[in-house]
């Protein structure tokens, strides 16, 4: 893990694009500009196919590799030319101590947040909606279903099951325009 932390730190310091691979998680790798590295989490912009996919907060313990190769340098230059490096500084997350701190910062966030519990033993794999509160080791999350219908009850998600929190992505932004 030491080499991964060192690589991420260098990429933060030099504001370089990085690619992150995670173990046991089926979602695609994450590419973007790393912004904050804490003892347990990484906050980074999320760039996919040369467009801004908002920000992701992921657990360090899930990361198996962090790198930028020669092909990443070319991709990075395109992303910089497209203004994606500049937008990376617009992150709402300033405290990445743990998921409780991250989610507390998102309580006043007007748009939608995505919470992913991507490991096999998690009860909820994916939820989209709004953070209501963080109580001890649980986040209370007001969510809606795939038909855009808000559920009457809050979803109680254990913080230790969360593998990723995302804000500002295209998926959530489109739902935001249609679900109120």
**Which residue segment(s) compose the domain that 78 sits in?**
2-90
| 15 and 85 housed in the same domain | yes
pLDDT score of 142? 96
Mean pLDDT in order along the chain per 10 residues (180 residues): 94 92 79 94 92 92 90 80 73 92 96 90 84 96 92 94 93 88
The pLDDT of residue 68 is: 87
DSSP 47: E
Please state the φ and ψ torsions of residue 2, each to the nearest 5 degrees.
Answer: -60, -45
Q: Are residues 6 and 86 in the same domain?
A: yes
- CATH code for the domain in which residue 48 is found: 2.30.30.100
Are 154 and 119 contained in the same domain? yes
Residues 75 and 17: beta-carbon distance below 8 Å? yes
113 and 169 within one domain = yes
The residues near 40 (Cβ < 8 Å, ≥ 6 apart) are 59, 60, 61, 97, 98
The pLDDT assigned to 87 comes to 66
The answer for residues whose C-beta is within 8 angstroms of residue 1's C-beta and 6 or more apart is 60, 63
- The pLDDT value recorded for residue 26 is 65
Looking at residue 112, the DSSP 8-state letter turns out to be -
> What is residue 164's predicted lDDT score, i.e. its pLDDT?
95
């Amino acid at each position: 893990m030491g080499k991964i932390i060192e690589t991420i730190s260098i990429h933060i310091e030099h504001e370089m694009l990085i690619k992150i691979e995670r173990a046991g998680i089926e979602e695609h790798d994450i590419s973007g500009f790393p912004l904050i590295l804490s003892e347990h989490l990484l906050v980074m912009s999320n760039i996919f196919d040369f467009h801004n996919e908002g920000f992701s907060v992921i657990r360090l313990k899930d990361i198996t590799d962090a790198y930028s190769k020669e092909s990443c340098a070319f991709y990075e230059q395109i992303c910089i030319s497209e203004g994606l490096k500049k937008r990376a500084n617009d992150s709402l997350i300033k405290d990445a101590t743990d998921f409780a701190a991250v989610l507390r910062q998102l309580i006043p966030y007007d748009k939608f947040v995505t919470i992913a519990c991507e490991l096999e033993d998690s009860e909820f794999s994916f939820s989209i909606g709004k953070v209501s509160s963080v109580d001890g080791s649980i986040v209370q999350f007001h969510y809606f279903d795939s038909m855009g219908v808000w559920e009457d009850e809050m979803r109680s998600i254990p913080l230790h099951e969360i593998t990723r929190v995302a804000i500002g992505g295209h998926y959530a932004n489109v739902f935001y325009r249609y679900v109120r």
